[in-house]
């Protein structure tokens, strides 16, 4: 029996459903972060706060920076998931871009946008 060089159409469909569900959740989370950043979910009292509370203002700036970083990470995650959908359509999904071998299903279920096997990832870090 020879080693498989790609996942079957049924397996790819299973991954596609998993990825679509993760995209939906990630987009909701991204929207929540953006709503918080733009003040859509606030009670609108930011402009009534006294300006002499310098430490609190610094804290608000730090919080906005953290939210901005979270939004950027979330957007990158969504892009990675969408790229995985393209690989599914091209039937190249789940193939390690370094070793050319199939990435184990367990890894793809945990990290569906992975393009490297654990073996390749560990080699890359050395």
Q: Tens of pLDDT along 2-13?
A: 567 899 999 999
> 77 lies in a domain?
yes
The confidence band for 51, taking pLDDT boundaries of 50, 70 and 90, is low
Confidence of residue 50 (pLDDT cuts 50, 70, 90): low
Which contiguous run of DSSP H or E holds residue 32? helix 9-38
User: What's the CA gap between 11 and 22, in Å, rounded?
Assistant: 17
pLDDT at 56 over 90: no
**3, 1, 15: which is closest to 91 by C-alpha?**
15
Residue 121 has pLDDT above 60, yes or no: yes
Burial class of residue 33 in the structure, from the number of CB atoms within 10 Å of its CB (0-12 exposed, 13-18 middle, 19+ buried): buried
Residue at 86 is within a domain: yes
- Residue 32 inside a domain? The answer is yes
Per-residue pLDDT reduced to its tens digit, 88-113: 999 999 999 999 999 999 999 999 99
C-alpha distances (whole Å) from 37 to each of 48, 57, 70, 73, 98 are 18, 15, 11, 15, 39
Residue 84's nearest CA partner among 42, 118, 115 is 115
pLDDT score recorded for residue 44: 53
Domain tally, the chain: 1
Domain containing residue 22: 9-93
């Amino acid at each position: 029996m020879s080693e498989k060089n790609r996942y079957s159409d049924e397996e790819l469909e299973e991954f596609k459903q998993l990825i679509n569900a993760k995209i939906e959740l990630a987009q909701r989370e991204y929207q929540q972060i953006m709503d918080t950043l733009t003040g859509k979910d606030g009670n609108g009292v930011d402009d009534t706060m006294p300006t002499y509370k310098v430490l609190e203002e610094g804290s608000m700036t730090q919080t906005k920076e953290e939210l901005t970083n979270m939004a950027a990470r979330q957007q990158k995650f969504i892009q990675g998931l969408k790229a995985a959908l393209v690989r599914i359509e091209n039937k190249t999904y789940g193939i390690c871009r370094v070793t050319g071998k199939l990435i184990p299903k367990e890894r793809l279920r945990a990290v569906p946008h992975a393009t490297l096997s654990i073996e390749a990832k560990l080699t890359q870090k050395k």
